[in-house]
Amino acid sequence: MLTYNHVYILGYCGGEPRHHEAAGCSTFRVATTEVFKDKQGEKQERTTWWTVVTWGATATFARDHIKKGTPVNVMGVARDVEWSDSKTGEVQKTKEIHARMCVVLPKAERSPERGGHVPEQGGV
């Protein structure tokens, strides 16, 4: 069976990207929001925060063009990452999107009538 790891998200950057010059990468957080109706028919929203890692020319693009609140289209692959907490020594796990491409989208007016908003919580 053939499998394929591809992630495609449209969302808003939650904070200023962090550029790591020595590693040649940039990281930033992106919020996506899904809107749905619950069992009672009430409108609900669920926001998910994604950590995005970019390398090379894509990292330079992120550093130069993506800012907090920027609407972005991110395409890449999902990766599991483990590290040891420096204070507790416990192994931590998270998922990241390793972006192959980032596109800055035009800002659209967002209103409750159009079904969207820019999430308030920060990122990075």
- CATH fold, domain 7-106, is OB fold (Dihydrolipoamide Acetyltransferase, E2P) (2.40.50)
Q: What is the pLDDT of residues 57-113, one digit of tens each?
A: 999 999 999 999 999 999 999 999 998 988 998 999 989 999 999 999 998 755 444
Q: What is the pLDDT of residues 6-57, one digit of tens each?
A: 999 999 999 999 999 888 899 999 999 999 999 999 999 999 999 999 999 9
* Global confidence as pTM: 0.79
For residue 60, how far is the Cα from the chain centroid? 17
CA distances (Å), origin 25, targets 17, 18, 60, 68: 10, 8, 8, 18
